[in-house]
Amino acid sequence: MMDYETLRFVWWVLIGVLLVGFAVTDGFDMGVAALLNVVGRGDEERRVMINSMAPHWDGNQVWLVTAGGALFAAWPPVYATAFNGFYLALMLTLFALFLRPLAFDYRSKLENPTWRRRWDWGLTIGSAVPALIFGVAFGNLLQGVPFQFDDYLRLEYQGGLLGLLNPFALLAGLLSLLMFVTHGAAWLQLKTEGELRSRSAAIGSLTALICAALFVLGGVWLLLGVDGYQVTSVIDTQGYNDTTGKIVAVSAGGWMTNYSRFPLLWLLPVLGVLGFVLCALTMKLGRHALAFTSSAVAMAMVVVTTGVTMFPFVMPSSLNPNHSLTMWDATASELTLKIMFVVVCIFVPLVLLYTAWSYWVMRGRLNEQFIRDNDKALY
């Protein structure tokens, strides 16, 4: 089949695919939930919003769970180091995520308005907080994280929750929250009518433009103000992980390396910015399908740009740069990567197939009359 080097590269791509899958699917339901108390006026409008994603949010969230599982299987050192390192941030994310399934299923089971309002906020917190923290995490990855290993590859992590909340990371967090919000607004335009639809168009076109600005600002900041990492020794891409054996240089403008070598890569961030701008434009023009597509493309480009900028790094260490984790030396064994590749080749197409079918079955717009007609059966 493939050699170890190719498998490692393919898995770098596959992890990216899973993250993009998460952003494009779970991104819109998190965005809608974040907007719930902003654009939804009154119980029935909020129910329209909730039910527009009710059949899908759970399947969407599995992209996140799968990304976690795939990280564990394909890059065990990254799973171990990142989840341990970002401990409190991840735990807060989990606490927020706890609220989502309950808010969806329990909210409309009782008539009591206080009950429903509390769960509305639960849904918003459960979606907005993870969206923010994921961005903060990536913002920190780009700056390097303070960890190193001992002789037996036991992790030593220095740093706490507050260190994660630096200005650059907060900018990244804001971008990730707002791009989910934009995507959610685009979804609402596909699935709702009347005022709800026009309100979300107004908000979505604004947040799309802010996203474009934040993305550009983040890029400039990264190139001018954040040190980049480069491997200066030769990594044996076919051999065992020698995670602590390489030599890594840290330098200003270091994250430019890949772009100087392959200028075509500039297309990725440019496409991202254009995607956000096009999304704002098409929302104004009422071209909903195009708006949803362009916000999806823009988000994909944000994820891909981050990955390509850091390549081959996935988790640089600011404490001991030589111990940084790269997609060459922080992977699973060749056999595990091979087996998991076969599994992915079989199941991801199947997943896409029945996911598409479920969206097709549940197609169409929702309105308040529909909520009244199906009061007991809906969320």
Residues 54-83 close enough to bind another protein by CB under 8 A = 54-59, 61-62, 65-66, 68-74, 76-77, 79-83
Which of 8, 46, 47, 100 forms a contact with another protein (CB under 8 A)?
A: 100
Q: How far is the CB of 213 from another protein (least distance, A)?
A: 33
Residue range at the interface with another protein (CB under 8 A); choices 165-173, 275-283, 295-303, 337-345? 337-345
Residue 149: closest CA among 77, 43, 229, 65: 77
Tell me the one-letter amino acid at 313.
Answer: F
Comparing CA positions, the residue from 62, 60, 82, 61 lying closest to residue 71 is 82
Closest separation in Å from C-beta 150 to another protein: 10
**From residue 181 to residue 200, what is the string marking binding to another protein with x (rule CB under 8 A)?**
------------xx------
The CB density around residue 80, as the number of other CB atoms within 10 Å, is 17
**Pairwise CA distance, residues 324 & 314, whole Å:** 8
CB of 209 to another protein, least distance (A): 27
Assigned token pair, 128? 């907005």
| 319 scored as a contact of another protein (CB under 8 A) | no
* Nearer residue to another protein within complex by CB, 85 or 272: 85
Report DSSP letters for 83-104, one per residue: HHHTHHHHHHHHHHHHHHHHHH
Q: 228 pairs with which residues across the strands? A: 251
> What whole-number distance in Å separates Cα of residue 222 and Cα of residue 235?
26
Residue numbers 200-239 binding another protein by CB under 8 A: none
Peptide bond into 146 cis (omega under 30): no
Least distance to another protein, CB of residue 51, Å = 8
Instruction: Give dist(CA 149, CA 147) in Å, integer.
Output: 7
User: Among 13, 41, 98, 220, which residue sits at the site for another protein (rule: CB under 8 A)?
Assistant: 98
Strand partners, 231: 248
- Nearer residue to another protein within complex by CB, 37 or 336: 336
CB of 193 to another protein, least distance (A): 5
Residue from 3, 13, 38, 84 in contact with another protein (CB under 8 A) = 84
Question: In which residue are the tokens 């993870």 written?
Answer: 130
Residue 24 in contact with another protein, rule: CB under 8 A: no
Q: Cα 252 from chain centroid?
A: 27
Per CB under 8 A, 109 contacts another protein: yes
Structure tokens at 94: 């989990």
Taking the C-alpha atoms of residue 377 and residue 371, their distance in angstroms, rounded to an integer, is 9
- Asked whether the beta carbons of 57 and 191 are under 8 A apart, the reply is no
Nearest distance from residue 235's CB to another protein, in Å? 14
Minimum gap (Å) between residue 46 Cβ and another protein? 16
Least distance in angstroms from the C-beta of 220 to another protein = 33
Q: Which is nearer to another protein, 146 or 253 (CB)?
A: 146
